[in-house]
Every structure is written in structure tokens, then in C-alpha cells.
């Protein structure tokens, strides 16, 4: 039963084969020794330099709550409250920058502290110690797993949320003139983002009936070979749909990378900056922009 | 059902209505070449807007059409490649850098007008 999937932890009894009286004795012991065990645990947390981002008072109050929940869970066998608490705790500490190894570290420390106190108490009665440990160990392990998993899940949730946010602000394809789109790319490009960008752009070409697309990469700090090839693919895909692509704002570093990597640039149409790109695109589409003062050039400068 | 090929002025328009089997692609290729000569067409448009998949074979066949009709004196434009199809094609390394492409039929005709501009001999009495 130890191999059960972690996700189904809550449906399992904590220590089904252990008789009630032992568990009760264990819980009573932990209740009686609450003050000193908690103190020892907190000391060991600070000795191990865990939870550096939290103040000693915070660590103490969280430790108290974890300890009480821990004992409650041992007593009742129901992990629901512990799970709710672990989730709540994770929500509070993930944003504080607490790391996974710290969370696992403190839970394992508590496990060790409690185990030692059991050794001490039952040192004269080895048989009983064994039976008590039979009750204690599976439960303690499961509690450690619950706390660890809920922390990791919370972190994943936060990361997922952030990724979604980034994706949303990712890449707007904007129409600046009839049949002319610009796509300003800001921030690092990775493969998933480049893929998503291509899909969006192709859709925009279709809906806006674009004939020229200016892709501006001024805001891209660096690219690797994979992403460079993605850009080439994007250019090709746009061409298949009948739209020409002008790439602008290649930084010296990126230009150098592209040449060093030997990316096939034969069909890339590049212009120095966004302004130049838009002007080139306008020429291609037959637009001519005339300054109202152009008729009297002496007044311009 | 064979792909309908319409004559519109000096252009031929082949409008693909559904996914094509390899046989149908070959057949289209043959008929187009034949009709280019018969109608003395100056341009060919292949509208693939209804195709969900354009595979290696179709890509190669379209390119063959483009090159062979060129030898027969007509320019060919492929129009209507869907966004998802274009994306899939470049993903699989299929592209048509040497082929004229346009967004849709209207664009294709405009492009052919550009490409064949001035090539017409007008008869002046």
C-alpha cells in the first residue's frame, strides 16, 4: 500500500494495521512534550539555516501550527485538515521565495525530532519502541509527502499562472496600414513562444489580408539556433500565404549569432530599424507618405 | 471528381475542392499542362483553400506544375494556403520558395497581372 499514487493520499488510512491504544499513547506523548519538542524543532530549523526569508517569530508560529496539525493528523487519521493547512501554508510561503528543499527539510526535521523523542522514551522497552515506530513511521512519511506535494503543486500553479500571463501579453500582430502588419517581439524567445507567435501571425495574415509583415525583434535579447530556425520557418510560412516578411531591429549580438550559427538567411529581408522596415513595407505596397510641410522644405529644419 | 479548371481570360483557374489523392494530383498536373497549351494561357492559379493537408507529394507536384507550365509559357500562382497548413508545411520542411504564392484568388489574379504585365502583344490596326 506504500506504492499508492501520491494524488490519492487522502483516501488512505494513515496506519491501518496499528492498534488504537498505541496510537493514543503516541499522541499523548507528543502532546505532553509539545513545548520542548517544538522548541527543539525550531532550534534545529535555524541551525540548518532553513526558511531564511522568514522572521524567527513567523517560523515559531508556523512551527506551532504545523506541530499541532501533525499531532492531530496522527490522532484522527484524517488528513483533510492537514491538507487544507498545507495548501494554505504553501500559498503564503511560495510568494515569499521559500524553496522546495526548505519545506521538505523542515518536515523531515520534525520527523527526526519526534522520532528521537520516541527513542528516548522507550529506550528500555525495545519491543514497544518497535511497535510505536510501526505506528509512527508510515503516518509521519505520509504527512511529509502531503506537505511536500502541496507545496510543489502550489508552486506549479503559480508558475502556470505566470506563464499564462506572459503568453497573453506576448505578441500582438498590429495592422498599421491596409495590408501591412507589424509584430513587435519583446522579451526572450523560446520554442513554445516562437511556435505560438507563428500561429498567431499566420492567423492575423489571413484575417487582415496582410501582404507585408514587419517583424521587429529590437526587444529580443538573444536567440539560439532553434529559435533562429523558427524565425526562418515563420518567414517561409508567411510566404506560403502570400505575405512578404521584413525583419527589423536585429541587434549586433543576434546578427552575429545568426551568421555564426550558419542559419539560412537567403530569404530573409532585413532592415535596420522598425521605422526603416515600415517605410520599406510602405514602398512595397505602393504607399507614399508625404509630410504636409514638404511643399515648403525651408520650414522643416 | 476531377478538379474543375476554369478559363478566365488569359488565365486558368484550378480550384481544388477537397483533399486530393496522389492520383488526382498527377491528373491535375497533366490536365493543367495540356490546357495551358490548348488555351494559350498566360497564367495558372491553383486554389488550395479547401485543402486541410498539403503533403510532400502534393508540394512536389505543385512545384512541378509551376516549373513545367513556365516552360510552356505560363506563370503559376498557388493561392489560399490556410494558416495551419502553412505552419505544418514549414514544420515538415516543405516549402515553395521558388513558387509564387498569394493569399486568395483575388490576390493571385493581381499577382499574375503583375507577373505577365507587358508580355502581351496587342494587335494594333
- As given in the structure block, the three cell numbers for residue A14 are 494513515
For residue A270, the cross-strand partners are A247
Q: Is A182 helix (H, G, I), strand (E, B) or coil?
A: strand
Beta strand B11-15 pairing with B5-8:
antiparallel
Asked if A206's CB is within 8 angstroms of B82's CB, the reply is yes
A109 pLDDT higher than 90: no
Cell numbers 515569499 correspond to what residue?
Answer: A96
Which residues in chain B have their CB less than 8 angstroms from residue A206's CB? Answer: 82-83, 103
Provide the percentage of residues in chain A whose pLDDT is more than 70: 90
The mean per-residue pLDDT over the stretch A3-7 comes to 43
Do residues B28 and B53 make contact, with C-beta atoms less than 8 angstroms apart? no
Q: What is the pLDDT of residues A254-280, one digit of tens each?
A: 888 888 888 777 778 889 899 999 999
Which residues in chain B have their CB less than 8 angstroms from residue A243's CB? Answer: 103
Compute the mean pLDDT over every residue in chain A, rounded to the nearest whole number.
82
A73 pLDDT higher than 90: no
Closest residue to B81, CB basis, from A211, A241, A267: A241
pLDDT of residue A207: 92
Task: For chain B, say whether A238 makes contact (Cβ under 8 Å).
Answer: yes
Q: Cβ–Cβ contacts within 10 Å for residue A38, how many?
A: 18
Which residues in chain A have their CB less than 8 angstroms from residue B91's CB? Answer: 233
A12 pLDDT higher than 80: no
pLDDT tier, A169 (very low <50, low <70, confident <90, very high otherwise): low
Q: What count of Cα atoms within 13 Å lies in the side-chain half-sphere of residue A186? A: 8
Q: Where are the beta strands (DSSP E) in chain A?
A: 174-177, 180-186, 212-219, 244-248, 269-271
User: For residues A35 and A25, what is the distance between their CA atoms, to the nearest angstrom?
Assistant: 17
A180 pLDDT higher than 70: yes
Compute the mean pLDDT over every residue in chain B, rounded to the nearest whole number.
87
Chain A 76-115, residues with CB within 8 Å of chain B CB atoms? none
User: How close does chain A come to B125, measured CA to CA in Å?
Assistant: 35
Least confident of A142-146, A286-290, A293-297, B111-115: A293-297
pLDDT tier, B18 (very low <50, low <70, confident <90, very high otherwise): confident
Closest CA to A138 of A85, A206, A89, A77: A77
Closest CA to A237 of B103, B18, B95, B125: B95
Chain B 81-110, residues with CB within 8 Å of chain A CB atoms? 81-87, 89-91, 95-97, 101-104, 107-108
The mean per-residue pLDDT over the stretch A72-99 comes to 80
Cell numbers 528543499 correspond to what residue?
Answer: A101
User: For residues B68 and B73, what is the distance between their CA atoms, to the nearest angstrom?
Assistant: 9
Beta strand A244-248 pairing with B5-8:
unpaired
pLDDT of residue B72: 86
Q: What is the pLDDT of residues A210-233, one digit of tens each?
A: 999 999 988 888 888 888 888 888
Provide the percentage of residues in chain A whose pLDDT is more than 90: 15
Chain B 63-82, residues with CB within 8 Å of chain A CB atoms? 78-79, 81-82
Task: For chain B, say whether A205 makes contact (Cβ under 8 Å).
Answer: yes
User: For residues B89 and B100, what is the distance between their CA atoms, to the nearest angstrom?
Assistant: 16
pLDDT tier, A1 (very low <50, low <70, confident <90, very high otherwise): very low
pLDDT of residue A299: 53
pLDDT of residue A112: 86
B77 pLDDT higher than 90: yes
Task: For the full predicted model, state whether its pTM sits above 0.80.
Answer: no
Q: Which of B90, B101, B105 to mutate to test the interface with A (most CBs of A within 10 A)?
A: B90
- Whether ipTM > 0.90 holds is no
pLDDT tier, B46 (very low <50, low <70, confident <90, very high otherwise): very high
Residue of A nearest to B100 (CA): A242
Which residues in chain B have their CB less than 8 angstroms from residue A241's CB? Answer: 81, 83, 86, 101, 103
A236 pLDDT higher than 50: yes
A16 pLDDT higher than 70: no
The mean per-residue pLDDT over the stretch A71-93 comes to 81
pLDDT of residue A151: 87
Task: For chain B, say whether A243 makes contact (Cβ under 8 Å).
Answer: yes
pLDDT of residue A163: 80
Helices and strands (H, E) in chain B, number of each type: 4, 5
Amino acid at each position: 500500500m506504500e506504492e499508492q499514487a501520491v494524488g490519492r493520499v487522502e483516501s488512505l488510512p494513515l496506519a491501518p494495521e496499528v492498534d488504537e491504544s498505541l496510537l493514543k499513547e503516541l499522541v499523548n506523548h507528543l502532546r505532553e512534550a509539545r513545548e520542548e519538542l517544538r522548541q527543539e524543532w525550531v532550534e534545529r530549523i535555524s541551525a540548518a539555516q532553513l526558511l531564511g526569508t522568514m522572521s524567527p517569530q513567523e517560523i515559531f508560529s508556523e512551527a506551532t501550527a504545523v506541530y499541532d496539525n501533525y499531532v492531530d493528523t496522527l490522532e484522527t487519521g484524517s488528513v483533510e485538515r492537514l491538507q487544507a493547512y498545507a495548501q494554505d501554508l504553501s500559498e503564503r510561503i511560495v510568494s515569499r521565495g521559500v524553496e522546495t528543499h526548505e519545506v521538505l527539510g523542515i518536515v523531515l526535521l520534525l520527523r527526526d525530532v519526534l522520532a528521537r523523542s520516541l527513542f528516548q522514551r522507550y529506550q528500555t522497552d525495545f519491543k514497544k519502541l518497535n511497535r510505536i515506530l510501526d505506528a509512527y513511521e508510515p503516518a509521519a512519511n505520509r504527512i511529509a509527502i502531503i506537505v511536500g506535494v502541496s507545496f510543489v503543486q502550489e508552486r506549479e500553479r503559480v508558475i502556470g499562472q505566470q506563464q499564462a500571463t506572459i503568453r497573453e501579453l506576448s505578441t500582438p500582430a498590429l495592422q498599421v496600414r491596409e495590408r501591412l502588419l507589424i509584430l513587435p517581439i519583446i522579451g526572450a524567445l523560446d520554442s513554445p513562444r516562437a511556435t505560438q507567435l507563428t500561429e498567431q501571425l499566420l492567423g492575423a495574415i489571413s484575417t487582415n489580408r496582410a501582404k507585408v509583415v514587419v517583424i521587429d525583434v529590437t526587444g529580443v535579447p538573444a536567440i539560439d539556433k532553434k529559435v533562429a530556425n523558427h524565425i526562418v520557418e515563420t518567414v517561409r510560412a508567411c510566404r506560403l500565404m502570400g505575405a512578404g516578411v521584413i525583419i527589423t531591429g536585429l541587434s549586433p549580438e543576434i546578427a552575429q549569432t545568426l551568421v555564426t550559427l550558419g542559419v539560412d538567411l537567403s530569404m530573409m529581408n532585413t532592415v535596420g530599424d522598425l521605422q526603416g522596415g515600415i517605410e520599406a513595407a510602405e514602398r512595397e505596397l505602393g504607399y507614399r507618405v508625404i509630410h504636409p510641410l514638404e511643399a515648403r522644405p525651408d520650414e522643416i529644419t | 471528381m476531377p478538379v474543375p479548371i476554369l478559363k478566365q481570360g488569359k488565365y486558368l483557374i484550378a480550384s481544388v475542392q477537397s483533399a486530393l489523392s496522389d492520383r488526382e494530383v498527377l491528373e491535375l498536373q497533366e490536365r493543367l499542362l495540356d490546357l495551358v497549351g490548348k488555351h494559350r494561357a498566360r497564367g495558372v492559379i491553383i486554389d488550395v483553400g479547401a485543402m486541410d493537408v498539403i503533403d510532400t507529394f502534393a508540394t512536389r507536384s505543385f512545384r512541378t506544375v509551376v516549373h513545367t507550365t513556365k516552360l510552356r509559357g505560363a506563370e503559376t500562382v498557388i493561392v489560399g494556403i490556410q494558416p495551419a497548413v502553412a505552419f505544418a508545411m514549414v514544420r515538415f520542411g516543405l516549402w515553395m520558395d521558388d513558387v509564387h504564392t498569394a493569399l486568395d484568388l483575388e490576390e493571385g489574379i493581381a499577382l499574375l497581372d503583375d507577373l505577365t504585365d507587358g508580355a502581351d502583344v496587342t494587335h494594333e490596326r
